[in-house]
Structure 1
Amino acid sequence: MAERYSSFQKGGRMWFLQRVTAVFLLVVLAFHFFLLHFVHHADEVSFLASSGRMESLSYYSLMITFLVTATFHGVNGVYNALVNQGLTGTKRTVIKWTLVAASVVLIAQGIRTANAWAGIGLY
């Protein structure tokens, strides 16, 4: 029988965060689909309407939290999948820091976009 291998240490911090972020993402995605596919139909969604939603602090905060959570969940999952496939040594370190850098850029650009929609300027 094949052994089960996972780079996550069961009960470890990253294992726990991967599960918590998955639950959060499911709830926020359900909210997104309900709001933007049932309450407002596709022909009603516009940049102006999106901008109006982003001006609400609660919606803006939820979208920023969603951005950070989705980035962490995705990058952590990709990294651990690569480790499970046997990534070790220098390559593992390079991939880890490349993914960290890509995450920082993604989050920074996402916040810039959210700020633009919300009408928040950095002056």
Structure 2
Amino acid sequence: MAERYSSFAPGGTAWLLQRITAAFLVVVLAFHFFQLHFVNHAADVTWQGTQIRMQNLGYFLVMVSFLIAGTFHGVNGVYNALVNQGLSGTPKKVVLAVLTIASVALIAQGIYVALVMAGMIY
């Protein structure tokens, strides 16, 4: 029987953060889905309604946390999947650098959009 290999070292920081962000994302995704499909039906979601929701500090912080956790979880998962497939050496470093830069850009853009939606900047 083949041995199972995982780039996640059980008990390591990346392993722990992957599980914490997974649990967080399940809860926040349920909240997000409930909020935007049952409380506010998708057809009724407007820019003004989004601005009102984003002006609530709790909602704003949850959505920014959702963005950060989702980005980390997704990018960390993709990176580790590539490592599990045999990515190593210089290509591994290049992929890590590209994914890190893309993650920072995505989070920066997302926070900027959240700040605009909350009316904190124009």
TM-score, normalised to structure 1, is 0.96
For residues 31-60 of structure 1, what are the alpha-carbon distances to aligned partners after superposition, in whole Å with 9 as ceiling and x for unaligned? 011111111112221111011100111111
1: CA distance, partners of 2:51 / 2:121: 14
List aligned pairs for 1:73-88, cutoff 5 A.
73-88=73-88
2:41: which partner in 1? 41
1: CA distance, partners of 2:64 / 2:32: 14
Runs of 4+ in 1 over 6 A off after TM superposition: none
1:12: which partner in 2? 12
1:119 corresponds to which letter in structure 2?
G
Which segment is superposed worse, 37-46 or 54-63? 37-46
Instruction: Find out whether 1:71 has 2:54 as its counterpart.
Output: no
Gaps of 5+ in 2: none
List aligned pairs for 1:1-123, cutoff 5 A.
1-121=1-121
What is the aligned-residue identity percentage? 60
Which segment is superposed worse, 113-122 or 18-27? 113-122
2: CA distance, partners of 1:24 / 1:85: 27
For residues 75-105 of structure 1, what are the alpha-carbon distances to aligned partners after superposition, in whole Å with 9 as ceiling and x for unaligned? 1000000000000000000100110000010
* Cα shift at 1:2: 1.6
Gaps of 5+ in 1: none
TM-score, normalised to structure 2, is 0.97
- Aligned-residue Cα RMSD (Å) equals 0.9
2: CA distance, partners of 1:13 / 1:58: 27
How many corresponding residue pairs?
A: 122
